[in-house]
Amino acid sequence: MSGSDALFARERPAAGAPAGALVLIHGRGADERDLLPLADELDPERRLHVLAPRGPLALPPGGAHWYALGGIPTPDAKTFVPTYRTLTAWLDALAEAIGVPWERTVLGGFSQGAVMSYAAGLGPGRPRPAGLLALSGFLPEVPGLRLTPQERPGLAVAIGHGTYDPIIPVQFGRRAAERLAADGLEVTFRESPIDHAVDPAYLAELRGWLTSAVGARALDG
C-alpha cells in the first residue's frame, strides 16, 4: 500500500472497484494474518477492500501488540498513546492509498483491536467512519484521550462479546453498548455463549449490517 509506511498490513482487494473498505485490527499477541480470513466471512462477494495492519509493539509472550497491558478499561497510557497516533496516521493515509473515502470505511477488530477501533473511530477530532465493529473489547479510558461518541449520532456500531469471556468480561461489552446507545449511536449488540473468541454465527449476521453501514447504494454499484 502506498501512503503511510508506519504500519505493515496485509490486504484482500475487492473483486472490482471497491464499494468501501474494511479495516480489521488483531488482538494481543496475534498479527495481521489473524483476522484477514474474516474478510470472506463478512464480505463473501468481495465488494470491499479489506486491510489488516500489524500492531507495532513486540511484547511478551510474543506476537504483535497494540499496547502493554494495564487494567480494564485502562490500558497502559505510555504505550497506548503512541500506538494510537501511529494507527491514526496510517488510517488517515488510507483514502488516497486505496481510493476509498473514510466515510465508506468500517473500522473493526477483536480484543485489543476492538479497543483501538473504538479509540480511532471515536477519538477527539477523528473523522467519522462508516461504522465500528468491536468484538470482545472495551471503551478505553486513557489520560489525555477523551472519546467523543456524542459527536457521532447515528453512527453504526456492531458489538459482539462472549458471555463466558475470562479475559475481558462481558460486562465491558454491555457497558459499551449501553453508553454508545445513550449517546445516540445505532448499536447492534450480540452476546454469545462463548469465551474470548469470535462467534462465527454473529459474523454471518453482520454481513447485512456491513452492507448497510457502508451504504446500500454504494454496494449496489
Residue 198 within any structural domain of the chain: no
* Residue matched to cell numbers 475470562: 166
Residue 49 within any structural domain of the chain: yes
Residue 10 within any structural domain of the chain: no
Domain interval for residue 126? 17-156+167-191+204-214
Burial of 51 (0-12, 13-18, 19+ CB in 10 A): buried
Q: What is the CATH number of the domain that holds 124?
A: 3.40.50.1820
| pLDDT of 131 over the 50 cut | yes
Burial of 8 (0-12, 13-18, 19+ CB in 10 A): middle
| pLDDT of 45 over the 60 cut | yes
**With bands split at pLDDT 50, 70 and 90, how would you rate the model's confidence at 4?**
very low
8 Å CB contact between 15 and 104: no
| pLDDT of 217 over the 80 cut | no
Rounded-to-integer distance, Cα 7 and Cα 91, Å: 10
Give me the percent of the chain exceeding a pLDDT of 70: 95
Residue 11 within any structural domain of the chain: no
Residue 60 within any structural domain of the chain: yes
pLDDT, mean of residues 96-119 = 96
Residue 134 within any structural domain of the chain: yes
Structural domain total, the chain? 1
Residue 117 within any structural domain of the chain: yes
Rounded-to-integer distance, Cα 3 and Cα 94, Å: 7
Residue 162 within any structural domain of the chain: no
Backbone angles phi, psi at 122, to 5 degrees: -120, 5
* Strand ranges across the sheet with 48-53: 9-12, 48-53, 20-25, 105-110, 131-135, 156-162, 186-192
pLDDT of residue 220: 40
pLDDT (tens digit per residue) in 111-124: 999 999 999 999 99
